[in-house]
């Protein structure tokens, strides 16, 4: 059972301010050492001749309103030629961090100051995982409502990024689009169940890396969230 106090209503999406000096230093060194290599450049799941048009379509507000919401039980898992199914349509690479100098440094250094066992960065849902978007990279509209976790995502974008994170607020039903910014940014998300999770999508025309840490325990999640945003 998840350890979330009954009186606490954790926002399903929160933009984090990365202020902790030690974490800022770790992230900057991680980026300097490098998070992209031949492993991260490999294609993911399916082959296509036009990733760009698919990224535009599957991440669009029109597609969400007219296709996804018309049959929400599909959760964005539309099948198409070349796609193996079993999840949202995507063009990105997962589980690469431990193969890059920056990823190796991040895992070792982050574990030392937080005491969190990150493993090798390949866990599918819990623990630590990583993903990278290359030009024409995208993750179609979907809802992570079956994981039972609280998630913190630290993302790195190259200079002059061209991409976004888009989501629908569960309460207001308003759709928000947050443009990618150069350097590091952070967010926290709740992925518990149908009620406590939000529809979202992401797209990037430039290289972008996300380091994701998930918790089944609310207190541990909150501790890291507070640490990242602390001044010391």
- Residue 202, helix vs strand vs coil: strand
Mean pLDDT per 10-residue run, the chain (232 residues)? Answer: 58 95 97 85 65 89 88 55 54 79 93 87 70 88 83 95 95 96 96 86 93 90 96 84
**CATH number of domain containing 121:** 2.60.120
Asked if residue 126 belongs to a domain, the reply is yes
pLDDT at residue 84, as a whole number: 43
Beta strand 183-191 with 13-16 is antiparallel
The count of structural domains within the chain is 1
- In this predicted structure, what is the pLDDT of residue 113? 94
What pLDDT sits at residue 6? 45
Distances (CA, A) of 112 to 22, 107, 109, 170: 11, 9, 5, 36
What is the reported pLDDT for 126?
Answer: 66
Q: Write down the pTM of the prediction.
A: 0.88
What pLDDT was estimated at residue 42? 62
Does 2 reside within a domain?
no
Q: Is residue 1 part of a domain?
A: no
What pLDDT, on a 0 to 100 scale, did the predictor assign at position 50? 82
- Domain hosting 103: range is 13-229
Residues contacting residue 23 through CB under 8 Å, at least 6 positions apart: 110, 113, 227, 228
Tell whether 8 is covered by a domain: no
53 in a structural domain: yes
Whether residue 6 lies inside any domain: the answer is no
Q: Where are the alpha helices (DSSP H) in the chain?
A: 21-33, 51-58, 61-63, 101-114, 218-229
pLDDT for residue 187: 97
Domain presence at residue 4? no
**Other residues' Cβ atoms within 10 Å of the Cβ of residue 63:** 18
């Amino acid at each position: 059972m998840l350890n979330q106090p009954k009186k606490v209503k954790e926002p399903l999406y929160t933009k984090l301010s990365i202020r902790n000096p030690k974490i800022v230093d770790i992230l900057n060194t991680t980026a300097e050492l490098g998070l992209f290599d031949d492993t991260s450049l490999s294609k993911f799941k399916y082959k296509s001749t036009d990733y760009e048009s698919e990224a535009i379509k599957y991440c669009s507000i029109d597609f969400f309103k007219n296709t996804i919401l018309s049959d929400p039980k599909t959760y964005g898992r539309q099948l198409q030629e070349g796609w193996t199914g079993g999840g949202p349509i995507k063009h990105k690479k997962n589980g690469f961090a431990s193969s890059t100098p920056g990823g190796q440094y991040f895992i070792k250094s982050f574990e030392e100051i937080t005491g969190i066992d990150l493993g090798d960065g390949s866990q599918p849902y819990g623990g630590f995982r990583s993903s990278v978007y290359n030009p024409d990279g995208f993750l179609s509209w979907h809802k992570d409502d079956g994981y039972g976790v609280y998630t913190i995502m630290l993302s790195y974008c190259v200079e002059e990024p061209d991409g976004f994170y888009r989501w629908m607020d569960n309460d207001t039903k308003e759709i928000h689009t947050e443009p990618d910014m150069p350097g590091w940014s952070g967010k926290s998300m709740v992925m518990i169940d149908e009620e406590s999770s939000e529809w979202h999508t992401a797209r990037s025309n430039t290289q972008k890396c996300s380091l994701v840490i998930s918790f089944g325990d609310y207190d541990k999640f909150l501790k890291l969230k507070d640490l990242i945003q602390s001044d010391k």
